[in-house]
Structure formats: C-alpha cells, structure tokens
Structure 1
Amino acid sequence: MKKWILIAITVMILSGCGETDFTPRAIEAETDICAVCNMSITHEEYAAQLIEEDGDHLVFDDLGCLIEHINEMDQAELGAAFIKDAQTNEWLNIERAAYVYAPGEWTPMSYHVLAFENTDAAQQWLDGGQQGELLALDDLYGFDWGNHH
C-alpha cells in the first residue's frame, strides 16, 4: 500500500513539472543583476527579462541589453521575453509591444529605447511633444546600437 502511495505522489510531482511557466517574475533589486552588463537592476521601470525554454529566468537592466542577448543566443532556447511599459510599468511581451528610440530619454545603459503597450500608445507619447522614432521589434534586432549607444 505504501508503495502505491509513493508512486502516486511521484507521478503528481512529475506531472506538475511538465509545463514551463513563461510568466515574468518580480525583480529583486537587492540581488538581481543584468545578464549582459552585470549592473544591478536598480531602475526596475526599465527592466527586461527573458525566460528560456527550460524555465530559467535572466534579467536585464535595459531593453538594449535584452536585445543584445537575444541576438547572440540560440533562438530555440528562447521561451518568452518581457519589458516594462514606459507608461504603466507593467510587464509587456516584447513581441506585442511597440518601441520608441528617444535619444533625449535616459535609460540605464543609454540605449534610449522605451516600450509601450501598442503603436497607438507609443504614437500618443510622441504626439505629446516627445522626440523619437517609432520602431517595431524587428527594427531592434537589426538596430545599429553602435551608432545610437
């Protein structure tokens, strides 16, 4: 009887491990450091994170660091990636966000790219008198950071 209980418990534990959770986690400012530049994540409102296919979380202090990491990694390992919304500070999936390159805006590693919930929100921000260039995610992967960084 004890053997069957042990088997049942083992099956329940293993079945719970089968699916990877691609939900962003909270940033822990005291201990989290950027996976690219090794800086502390002291300005959480600019934080980004990547969840690898195996469930490992990597955090970044700036969207530019996240993009640099994605450009260098095996795409098969990418599960999901998130960035903070410049207006709401909520996590956004990078594939659904819109971006603005705003050289006059401060970001932790001086990439000067802000994320918005959608193109309309980004355009409204620009229409509010802010200077910048509207970008899509694909633009960021090929962005010449050297000329903008």
Structure 2
Amino acid sequence: MKLIKNLFVAGAATILLAACSESGPKEIATGKDQCENCKMTITEAKYATQLVTEKGRNYKFDDISCMDDYTTSNTEVAQNSDEYVADFPTGIFFDRSTATLVQGGSIKSPMGGNTQAYKDKAAAEKAAAELGATVIQ
C-alpha cells in the first residue's frame, strides 16, 4: 500500500511540475483568440505571432506587424520576452530570431503587414519568387 501511495505522490508531483514549467507559445484558437494590439479576432493562424514574457505571460497577435507595433509601444512588456512566429507552411510556432521573413508581392496578411515567416530558408526563397515578394530577414 505504501508503494502505491508513493507512486501516486510522485506522479502527481511530476504532473504539477510539468504544468508549472510550461512556457513558450500556446495554440491559437482561431475565431476566438484576440490580438493584443488591435483587438481583432485572430482568423488566420499561419500569420499569428506570440510574445512570451520571462514570467510566462503569453500575448497573441494576428500579424507580425501587430506584434511589432505592440513591442514598440510596450517596451517594458517586450523587454526580456521571447517572440514566436508561425511557420507559414506548417503553422507551427518557432523563435522569430531564426525565421526567414518574406514580405510584399501578393501576400495579404490580416493587418496589412503582408509578411510570412518560414523556418526553412529555401522554402522562404521559393515562396518569395512565386509570390513576387522579397526576403527581408
């Protein structure tokens, strides 16, 4: 009986630690989540971005340009925060500092930033050529 109790306590502690240590980008609930900057509902997850503070607070945005506007206006929040962008082909979030950004051409993003993020540079260059866009980062 004591073994079962110890296993239960250990399992519960593991679950609690995992829940407390979960930081980073969260899943976007399209049609429900709201952009922190412009307050519009996020409708296209492949253009969404996220800012995660060092305390783990998550801010969601509907466009890279909205996150940029927000971080410029809210430097105290943005300081020491991590920025995440959605890989346009997959929708999976990754660190913005490693992204290749494609802008312009026939890209039409929700707030007019008209920028797509790519984890794979070759995919970004191919998309830029097909869309008449420019690789900016």
**Range into which the TM-score falls when normalised by the shorter chain:** 0.7 to 0.9
* TM-score (normalised: structure 2): 0.76
Identity rate of aligned residues, in percent? 23
Aligned partners of 1:55 and 1:20: how far apart in 2?
Answer: 9
- Which residue of structure 1 aligns with residue 50 of structure 2? 49
Q: Does residue 135 in structure 1 map to residue 136 in structure 2?
A: yes
Q: Where has structure 1 moved over 6 Å in runs of 4 or more?
A: none
Q: Does residue 109 in structure 1 map to residue 124 in structure 2?
A: no
Q: Is the 8 A contact 2:51 2:67 kept in 1?
A: yes
The residue correspondences of 1:1-149 to structure 2 (distance < 5 A) are 16=17, 21-72=22-73, 73-74=75-76, 77-127=79-129, 129-136=130-137
Letter of the 1:120 counterpart: A
SS of the aligned residue for 2:94 comes to strand
Q: How many residues align?
A: 123
Aligned partners of 1:76 and 1:130: how far apart in 2?
Answer: 32
Aligned partners of 2:36 and 2:97: how far apart in 1?
Answer: 20
Unaligned runs of 5+ in 1: 1-11, 137-149
Q: Is the 8 A contact 1:22 1:79 kept in 2?
A: no
Shift of 1:23: 2.0
Alpha carbon RMSD of aligned pairs, Å?
Answer: 2.5
* TM-score (normalised: structure 1): 0.71
Q: Is the 8 A contact 1:102 1:113 kept in 2?
A: yes
SS of the aligned residue for 1:78 comes to coil
Shift of 1:121: 2.0
Q: Is the 8 A contact 1:36 1:69 kept in 2?
A: yes
SS of the aligned residue for 2:85 comes to strand
Shift of 1:49: 0.8
